[in-house]
Amino acid sequence: MFETLTERGFQVEIHSHARAILSVDFPGAVAELEEVIGGLTLPIEEIIGSGGGETKGTQRLRKGLAAQGWKKINFRVEKTINGVQREAISHEIDHVKEFEAGVIALEIEWNNKDPFFDRDLENFKRLHAEGAISVGVIVTRGQSMQDEMRDMINKFAEDKGIDDHARLDELDIARTPKQKAAIDKRVAAGIGFREAWVNKFVSDKYGAATTHWAKLEDRVHRGVGNPCPLVLIGLPSSIVTFGENIAMADIEAEEEAMEKAGILPQE
């Protein structure tokens, strides 16, 4: 199961009998997820340009799921005693699809603060307990993506000849006054400008306290979200590409045409 993803270097962990459930009741869901997630590439320019927020690549992933019928749903669970409402809780999930055998819920956590994993896992747990979903799926940055982020940003800096603030301005790479001051302070201490910028960018935007594989794995192994059947998918460094600007322009033009045609939802 998910062999196409694992062959491309994606991390996949399956918990609480999700493998049996998916293989018997949801083979179509597995095929859709492999098609949409497995086709993802992420130009390094998007990682830089996102400033740590959601990249265009993850936006394309969301649109790909939407095109397959995975929609945002706000689940509302209400409980009453003798006709009197005692409790009402809402759980908004970004990507949900109903199949003949049941419902699968999916969240993408590209780069949020890591407590968002607690929210997602607890939502899945409650919705599963209420019979609203059969399986929960979380997609996040994989271990190789996280471990190699600094090297990938450094390669981008080398390719683009980033050696001063003027070059960053030419490339339209934003820094706050505080970030500029921190970089300058490191340079004054004898660190090269490129190294100072790379280190500051990665620590600010893709640091250890953000959503990535190790933070998700730690929570799941501690039992957060249990006993909801779970599938965890980590995006690998192998999907990051360099020098894809022209290709990206083509992708964006194609997406715009699809949106106008009503094939994909507008932002």
Other Cβ atoms less than 10 A from the Cβ of 140: the count is 29
Q: For residue range 125-167, what is the model confidence (pLDDT) as tens digits?
A: 999 999 999 999 999 999 999 999 999 999 999 999 999 999 9
- Arithmetic mean of pLDDT, 212-229: 96
Prediction pTM value: 0.88
Which two structure tokens, joined as six digits, stand for 141? 């940055």
Instruction: Spell out a b/e string for 41-58, using b for 16 or more CB atoms within 10 Å of the CB, else e.
Output: ebbbbbbbbbebeebbbb
Cis peptide before 229 (omega within 30 of 0): no
Q: What percent of the chain has pLDDT over 70?
A: 90
Confidence at residue 219, expressed as pLDDT on a 0 to 100 scale: 97
Half-sphere exposure in the Cβ direction for 117 (13 Å, CA): 26
Q: For residue range 196-216, what is the model confidence (pLDDT) as tens digits?
A: 999 999 999 999 999 999 999
Q: Between the CA of residue 249 and those of 36, 56, 189, 257, what are the distances in Å?
A: 20, 12, 40, 12
Task: Please tell me whether residue 35 adopts helix, strand or coil conformation.
Answer: helix
55 falls in which pLDDT band (50, 70, 90)? confident
What gap in Å lies between CA 143 and CA 86, rounded to an integer? Answer: 43
Q: Can you list the domains of the chain with their CATH numbers?
A: 3-260 (3.40.91.20)
Q: For residue range 76-111, what is the model confidence (pLDDT) as tens digits?
A: 888 888 878 777 788 899 999 999 999 999 999 999
